[in-house]
Structure 1
Amino acid sequence: MPGEVHAGRGPEEGAVTETAQLASPNTSTGAAPQRRRRRRGARTTLLVLGALAAGGAAAAAAVGFGGGNGATPPASNLPPATAPVTRQTLQDTQTLDGELGFGPTHSAVNRLNGTVTWLPESGAVVSRGKPLYKIDNTPAVLMYGNVPAYRELRTGDEGTDVKQLEQNLKALGYGGFTVDREFTASTATAVRQWQEDLGLKETGRVEFGRVVFASGQIRVESVEATASAPAQPGAAVLKYTGTVRVVVVQLDVADQRLAKVGAAVRVELPTGGTAEGTVAKAYTVIEAGGQGEEATTKIEAVVSLADQKAVATFNQAAVDVTFTAAERPDVLTVPVSALVALREGGYGVEVVENGASRYLAVQAGLFSGGRVEVSGEGLAEGMTVGIPR
């Protein structure tokens, strides 16, 4: 009949599926640190608009405005259930499994020939200028920097690694040179003073392997070499981590929108408390597949924790990490199941007033927790909307 409106069954409330939106990777440069375990399953409270179009809304029968006259269906066609239009804050959140500990593990690789004569204990903390291990009773020294040692450094050399060395020498109290990218005669003089203090031959050159660069103070995770055994150039002597407790979370590539550097997260601790965290860095890792399986690509996020006291009793623990990818404050919302597909295209809601109903076209925004952000002309907080059969 002209003007007749047919309402179908809409998507059931709470029937939430996830379609993650692919974002540009936010990764660090260089090789990814090693992984210690594989990620457990994820628990999701996220729904985005594309998921409704692909699933819930596709199951809804189309309704129309009957040529735009806003016809009101008979009272017998009123929806069997209703819900209010509310104003609230919606969040796009997802909870994933994380590992609380000292962060990614790195390897200290020996470049010196000789015999291993001293190794630190697991759990030891090593700072700038201190021996990391000893070969032929001479130390391989820890210094701070992001560029790994890759060559001998001598007068006339130039580069970022030269500047990095000079920054460390200055921090250790040696002077008489300008901190820049050039290894000058003044730099060589400072190196000889440093070598004398360490009991090394005073050559003015820094042999390859004498210095191990790390981003900061380190904690020895495990010892790989054996004291009194021949030193194997190119072999790992020990593995180390940072000294500050962090949380490492592994995500699917489709979820990388969550791992934005600087994003705030909430960490649920094994003791029942919570700690606030921030995504400090994110990078890509490649996990080798098993026999006959392809390698998989993952995103690994490192979450820093401001309150170290709250996690001081944990050296390693499984935790839940809640990411918030988006937030919509002070928006109108309705149950997801109140949305219906319109013949004219898009979505609408059935507004119930004074024993009658009419359809309003709406724009759907963020979905979360069984509700959806909606906006549209004539829609207001406190209105009553129908839940389709």
Structure 2
Amino acid sequence: MGETTAERAPAKEEGRRARRRRPRFKIALAVAAIIAVGGVATVAAFGSGGGDGGGRATGLPPSTTKVAKQTLSDAQTEDGQLGYGPTLTATNQTKGTITKLPESGDVITRGHRLYEVDGDPVVLMYGSKPSYRPLQAGTEGSDVERFEKNLSALGYDGFTVDDEYTSDTAEAVREWQDDIGVAETGIVDVGRVAYANGPVRIESVAANPGEPAAPGKKMLEYTGTTQAVTVELDTADQRLAKKGARVEVTLPQNRTITAEIDEVTTVIEPAEQGADPTTKVEVTIWLDSAKAKKAAAAYALASVDVEFTAGERKDVLTVPVSALVALSEGGFGVEVVKGATSSYVAVETGMFADGKVEITGAGIAEGTLVGVPK
């Protein structure tokens, strides 16, 4: 907020379910696992095939499958929390005594009182940066323009919205000060307005009426007013967190909505004494479409599932991972079966997903019959 210090404090539901991880794509792990358990047979390349495979097999495989054309997706489902997005903290910037505070759940919009000090309101305005100096005739800068935009949006006129605080601006400010019930000085003192990105919802109050309102005192915590889903990812899964990427959110009662990633932030969580801090990737998904708002409106706070899709390969040739064989000269191949004979053909692998692997190679086409060693 303007004369507030915003600090991230991601809301966490007490007793949160253990994170369910259902990865559908891990190249290194997939290859390592199938080799470790003998899922990939090792064969030699015979005859003139050389490094391209092409060697003849010594017998037909125990089973076969056909090369298929399909779409593969690098997808993973994670636990998320439905709420109102990250929680921010508002701190006071003026001296006096706290005389009025909002209540948890209150929604406050531009031009309205956030709290009171010495009976005078601290007014909410919209902006991404806090105020840091008094504004008066002769002051110039982006903070002047930010305040004038808000003043204009509230219906005050007679001045030009720019980066100069003129006598005309001061006159409009006196009119505004008269309306909010403070001294008509024409000067906007530090601490008179508080900036947030938009309307705010009071999450909790951290002070009490009658307490000193020293600069830097924590007053309250707030969120936005639009519902959002937050997800904490391990840093190893950061590839999933791409701003603008589409995700599928499953709400309680299996209601599914499509949304997109709006914010990706690295968060360092303090550790207990003697342990190292933990680094997480916090993903925020604002449910701001009409359909998403309607679907989520019935739930204030809830646990949800979020399916991330980091990549997709459309109309590629695939075989089961178990159809791969490790060629003795290096790389992978498949055993192509033709009638009563078969031969090994070297292939390049692409995406792994759902137990399938993308392959390309000489003579490999949709419908090609290949062996499955086990």
TM-score, structure 1 as length reference: 0.87
Matched residues, number: 358
Residue 66 of structure 1 corresponds to: 46
CA 1:225–1:31 in structure 2 vs 1: closer, same or farther (change >3 Å)?
Answer: closer
Does residue 146 of the first structure (1) align with residue 140 of the second (2)? no
CA–CA separation in structure 1 for the residues paired with 2:48 and 2:128: 65
Does residue 56 of the first structure (1) align with residue 34 of the second (2)? yes
CA 1:67–1:344 in structure 2 vs 1: closer, same or farther (change >3 Å)?
Answer: farther
Residue 338 of structure 1 corresponds to: 323
Does residue 193 of the first structure (1) align with residue 178 of the second (2)? no
CA–CA separation in structure 1 for the residues paired with 2:144 and 2:259: 35
CA–CA separation in structure 2 for the residues paired with 1:246 and 1:332: 38
CA–CA separation in structure 1 for the residues paired with 2:57 and 2:333: 15
TM-score, structure 2 as length reference: 0.91
Asked if 2 retains the 8 angstrom alpha-carbon contact of 1:32 and 1:283, the reply is no
Residue 371 of structure 2 corresponds to: 386
Listed one character per residue, the Cα deviations across residues 76-98 of structure 1 (whole Å, up to 9, x for unaligned) are x3222222211111100011110
Asked if 2 retains the 8 angstrom alpha-carbon contact of 1:217 and 1:243, the reply is yes
TM alignment of 1:79-158, pairs within 5 A: 79-158=61-140
CA–CA separation in structure 2 for the residues paired with 1:174 and 1:64: 83
CA–CA separation in structure 1 for the residues paired with 2:227 and 2:62: 54
Residue 274 of structure 1 corresponds to: 256
Listed one character per residue, the Cα deviations across residues 25-81 of structure 1 (whole Å, up to 9, x for unaligned) are xxxxx976212228742413232433345443465443232143434223xx32222
* Residue in structure 2 matching 1:318, options 289, 303, 306: 303
**Deviation at residue 259 of structure 1 after TM alignment:** 1.2
Q: CA RMSD in A?
A: 1.9
What percent of counterpart residues are identical?
A: 51
Residue 155 of structure 2 corresponds to: 173
**Deviation at residue 343 of structure 1 after TM alignment:** 2.3
Structure 1 runs not aligned, ≥5 long: 1-29
SS of residue matched to 1:293: coil
CA–CA separation in structure 2 for the residues paired with 1:71 and 1:368: 28
Asked if 1 retains the 8 angstrom alpha-carbon contact of 2:25 and 2:75, the reply is no
Asked if 1 retains the 8 angstrom alpha-carbon contact of 2:6 and 2:88, the reply is no
**Deviation at residue 346 of structure 1 after TM alignment:** 1.7
**Deviation at residue 365 of structure 1 after TM alignment:** 0.8
SS of residue matched to 1:62: strand
* Residue in structure 1 matching 2:23, options 10, 24, 45: 45
CA–CA separation in structure 1 for the residues paired with 2:320 and 2:31: 16
Give every structure 1 segment of 4 or more consecutive aligned residues whose post-TM-superposition deviation is greater than 6 Å: none
Asked if 2 retains the 8 angstrom alpha-carbon contact of 1:98 and 1:250, the reply is yes
Deviates more, 1:38-47 or 1:300-309: 38-47
SS of residue matched to 1:47: coil
Residue 24 of structure 1 corresponds to: none
SS of residue matched to 1:344: coil
**Deviation at residue 310 of structure 1 after TM alignment:** 0.5
SS of residue matched to 2:267: strand
Asked if 2 retains the 8 angstrom alpha-carbon contact of 1:98 and 1:249, the reply is yes
Residue 358 of structure 2 corresponds to: 373
CA–CA separation in structure 2 for the residues paired with 1:157 and 1:136: 27
